[in-house]
A and B are shown apart, each in its own frame.
Chain A
Amino acid sequence: MSTLEIKDLHVSIDTEQGTKEILKGVSLTIRTGETHAIMGPNGSGKSTLASTIAGHPRYNVTSGSITLDGEDVLAMSVDERARAGLFLAMQYPVEVPGVSMTNFLRTAKTAIDGEAPKLRTWTKDVKAAMAQLRIDADFTQRNVNEGFSGGEKKRVEILQLELFKPKFAILDETDSGLDVDALKVVSEGVNRAHAEGNMGTLLITHYTRILRYIKPEFVHVFVDGQVVEEGGPELADRLEEEGYDRYATGAGAATIAAADAAAQA
């Protein structure tokens, strides 16, 4: 049983116009076995939270804390966080030239476990996981994410989730850009990983669509870098009907939306 605890987190980025505060005091606690959905309009800071947990150098934590079972996550380097059991399924997985998927998966697994996986069972595990996610076998020979379609990249993120068995999975808009079939395949993968019982999930999404396949116990609504409402699954249903309009806060949110859009461009 593990706990990922985020307390009063403030995060800013450096832009050409100066420092911009994106997260304005976020607190959140996730335990093993729980699924939390973070929902919110574009530019509300959802992805910033995900990247900050993973340790992306672009984001500066100005105050607050993130701890994993009491350990200071913010003091860890990016690779240490991953080895401590945090996994970020990225919104835009990066193409890495020169590194085959096979080599990458084995190197990462070795780093995370602290020892090389047994070759025979590992190869079998990879093949089985790929088959379940309907990833072609020849992907192992290709370079990491190179030339993969958007949907293929997302499936490969979930493949890693299933193989690396993290304590906490942060899914950053894994559903965006997926058609219904791919969405089902990806959701099944997340549910399989979750069903093993040793993982907590933070599901970040703009849409409610993925919540038909992955059922969260907790829903947090993000607006303008803060959690403005929290509840159970019924909150997601309400968002599906009403959208985010009732949270509209005017100019502040719009400014952040523009900054975030610029950051992603």
Chain B
Amino acid sequence: MTDITTEKARIGAPSAQPFINGFTEEGESLSPLNAAASKSPLAGEAVKRHSHGGGVGIPDSSRAGRLTSYKLADFKPLTGMEEDWRFTPLKRLRGLHTEVLNGAAPTVSVTAPDSVTVETVGRDDRRIGSAAIPEDRVSANAWENFTEATVITVPAEVQADGEVSVLLTGQGTEASAQHVVIIAEKFSKSVVVLDHQGTAVVSENIEILVEDGAQLTVISLQEWNDDAVHASSQQAKLGRDAKFKHIVVSLGGDLVRVTPSARFTAPGAEVELFGLYFADAGQHLEQRLFVDHAVANCKSNVLYKGALQGRNAHTVWVGDVLIRKEAEGTDTYEANRNLVLTDGARADSVPNLEIETGLIAGAGHASATGRFDDQHLFYLMARGIPEEVARRLVVRGFLNEIIQQIKVPAIEERLTDAVERELAATNH
């Protein structure tokens, strides 16, 4: 059956009611690092100072307090008890958090309209670090180890004719680091597709700079082979009146963990973050996103949808939305929907909304995890629909809402086919 929790924005002070034992307002408190804060999750113990390069962030219940640093040494070794790693099976990271990432990085091949500039640059390029700073150890490890970066620039006022297609092909199972910078200059308009294929063990940093008035869509496709391990930090920084649409599609790979974020730096900007994932038996597909409303009058809309089938198929969705004190006039909504198709699968879903000002246009979050069970099947079949068609009908309908956001017909078609293949893979 379907469990739905929808909560209106809590404006002002958190309620004084005691929470369920072992739970905070933000969810299950598995992490001992959060123990001190769990008594009063939003009640002012938070250290909200950013620690750029300083390495002194203190994990707490506020998303703003998370440590950020370009230096790997600033991040403690992972134990799996950290709030942002508690769902991830570290053993299956294949060294992305412990080893020097000097394996061969996935090869990068870019097909782009003539108006778009594509460069391969060294670590010292001034554009590196212009939009992102690592927020976790695996991301910092990639930052410390990448040897060259791909920089894609859509020049000012250019309306790119056709999409920029970036094919990243894995080169094997040695742990590696990747770096890509996407710059959408002022008033440009473009679509960039990051297409991950093959076998890789890779930690990736994608920096996305959306300058004033620019419109950018980034689509990140993870259609890896079954043995791939992929951690991808995709951070976007938005200028005034910028419009950014981000779509994450994770289908293949043993462990895929995508952590997109969008930071507003000037008013009038809008982001849409969409995601689609389909986990088969044994797959771990994780997505943790962060929308930082740091300035006034920006908009964000988040929708992630996932399907799960097979034993130990595991998906994780954590959506952090922070509306800072300065961010008056913010309008935000985030939702996650999961469809569990068989027994033995697990979907974790944690929508977090932090609000530090009451002067907003709207804020909401929702999460629902439903099951496709024998009752649904009986109902559809009792109307003459054969079992296979019924199953496909449900999943296709469910995921199509995300696919149709892509608006690149070739990719929409490819993903529709990919979803059909996923369904065909474990018919029973």
A197 to B389, CA, bound (A): 31
User: Is B394's CB under 8 angstroms from A98's CB?
Assistant: yes
Cβ–Cβ < 8 Å partners of A167 in chain B:
none
Nearest-Cβ distance from residue B399 to partner chain A, whole angstroms: 8
Cβ–Cβ < 8 Å partners of A143 in chain B:
397
User: Is B376's CB under 8 angstroms from A96's CB?
Assistant: yes
Q: Which listed residue, A99, A112, A144, touches B384 by the CB 8 Å rule?
A: A112
A96 to B372, CA, bound (A): 8
Residues 69-82 of chain A: 1 if any B CB is under 8 Å from the residue's CB, otherwise 0?
00000000111011
Q: Which residue of B lies closest to A108 (CB)?
A: B383
A164 to B378, CA, bound (A): 17
- Which residues of A33-78 are within 8 A (CB) of B? 54-57, 77-78
Q: Which residue of A lies closest to B398 (CB)?
A: A98
Whether, in the assembled complex, A10 has its beta carbon less than 8 Å from a beta carbon of chain B, the answer is no
User: Is A82's CB under 8 angstroms from B381's CB?
Assistant: yes
Nearest-Cβ distance from residue B278 to partner chain A, whole angstroms: 13
User: Is A82's CB under 8 angstroms from B382's CB?
Assistant: yes
Whether, in the assembled complex, A31 has its beta carbon less than 8 Å from a beta carbon of chain B, the answer is no
Nearest-Cβ distance from residue B8 to partner chain A, whole angstroms: 18
User: Is B339's CB under 8 angstroms from A160's CB?
Assistant: no
With A82-B384, A111-B383, A111-B384 as given contacts, are A98 and B378 in contact (CB-CB < 8 Å)?
Answer: no
User: Is A108's CB under 8 angstroms from B384's CB?
Assistant: yes
With A99-B394, A111-B389 as given contacts, are A104 and B380 in contact (CB-CB < 8 Å)?
Answer: yes
Residues 377-398 of chain B: 1 if any A CB is under 8 Å from the residue's CB, otherwise 0?
0111111111101000111011
User: Is A111's CB under 8 angstroms from B379's CB?
Assistant: no
For A93, A98, A104, A164, which residue has the most chain B Cβ atoms within 10 angstroms? A98
Residues 339-366 of chain B: 1 if any A CB is under 8 Å from the residue's CB, otherwise 0?
1000000000000000000000000000
Whether, in the assembled complex, B370 has its beta carbon less than 8 Å from a beta carbon of chain A, the answer is yes
A111 to B380, CA, bound (A): 11
- Which residues of A137-176 are within 8 A (CB) of B? 143-144, 146, 160, 164
Whether, in the assembled complex, A97 has its beta carbon less than 8 Å from a beta carbon of chain B, the answer is yes
Cβ–Cβ < 8 Å partners of A94 in chain B:
375-376, 378-379
Nearest-Cβ distance from residue B368 to partner chain A, whole angstroms: 8
Whether, in the assembled complex, B79 has its beta carbon less than 8 Å from a beta carbon of chain A, the answer is no
Nearest-Cβ distance from residue B17 to partner chain A, whole angstroms: 28
Whether, in the assembled complex, A199 has its beta carbon less than 8 Å from a beta carbon of chain B, the answer is no
User: Is B382's CB under 8 angstroms from A103's CB?
Assistant: no
With A94-B376, A98-B398 as given contacts, are A107 and B393 in contact (CB-CB < 8 Å)?
Answer: yes
User: Is B381's CB under 8 angstroms from A97's CB?
Assistant: no
Q: How many residues of B contact A (CB 8 A)?
A: 24
User: Is B379's CB under 8 angstroms from A107's CB?
Assistant: no
A2 to B382, CA, bound (A): 20
A94 to B397, CA, bound (A): 17
User: Is A79's CB under 8 angstroms from B374's CB?
Assistant: no
Nearest-Cβ distance from residue B372 to partner chain A, whole angstroms: 7
With A107-B389, A107-B393 as given contacts, are A96 and B380 in contact (CB-CB < 8 Å)?
Answer: yes
With A78-B378, A107-B389, A107-B393 as given contacts, are A97 and B383 in contact (CB-CB < 8 Å)?
Answer: no
Whether, in the assembled complex, A221 has its beta carbon less than 8 Å from a beta carbon of chain B, the answer is no
Whether, in the assembled complex, B2 has its beta carbon less than 8 Å from a beta carbon of chain A, the answer is yes
Whether, in the assembled complex, A186 has its beta carbon less than 8 Å from a beta carbon of chain B, the answer is no
Cβ–Cβ < 8 Å partners of B372 in chain A:
97-98
User: Is A78's CB under 8 angstroms from B397's CB?
Assistant: no
Nearest-Cβ distance from residue A121 to partner chain B, whole angstroms: 19
Cβ–Cβ < 8 Å partners of A55 in chain B:
382
User: Is B379's CB under 8 angstroms from A93's CB?
Assistant: yes
Nearest-Cβ distance from residue B236 to partner chain A, whole angstroms: 29
Nearest-Cβ distance from residue A171 to partner chain B, whole angstroms: 13
A88 to B379, CA, bound (A): 10
Nearest-Cβ distance from residue A51 to partner chain B, whole angstroms: 9
Whether, in the assembled complex, A95 has its beta carbon less than 8 Å from a beta carbon of chain B, the answer is yes
A55 to B386, CA, bound (A): 14
Q: Which listed residue, A54, A79, A93, A95, touches B2 by the CB 8 Å rule?
A: A95
User: Is A79's CB under 8 angstroms from B384's CB?
Assistant: yes
User: Is B384's CB under 8 angstroms from A98's CB?
Assistant: no
User: Is B394's CB under 8 angstroms from A96's CB?
Assistant: yes
A94 to B382, CA, bound (A): 11
User: Is B382's CB under 8 angstroms from A97's CB?
Assistant: no
Cβ–Cβ < 8 Å partners of B384 in chain A:
79, 82-83, 108, 111-112, 164
Cβ–Cβ < 8 Å partners of A22 in chain B:
none
Q: Which residue of A lies closest to B376 (CB)?
A: A96
| Shortest Cβ-Cβ A-B pairs, 8 listed | A98-B398, A82-B384, A108-B383, A94-B379, A111-B384, A78-B381, A112-B384, A79-B381
Known pairs A77-B381, A104-B383, A146-B2. 4 more at Cβ < 8 A?
Answer: A79-B386, A82-B381, A82-B384, A98-B372
Show 14 A/B contacts (Cβ-Cβ < 8 Å), sorted by A.
A54-B382, A57-B374, A78-B378, A79-B382, A95-B2, A97-B339, A98-B397, A100-B397, A104-B380, A108-B380, A111-B384, A111-B386, A146-B2, A160-B383
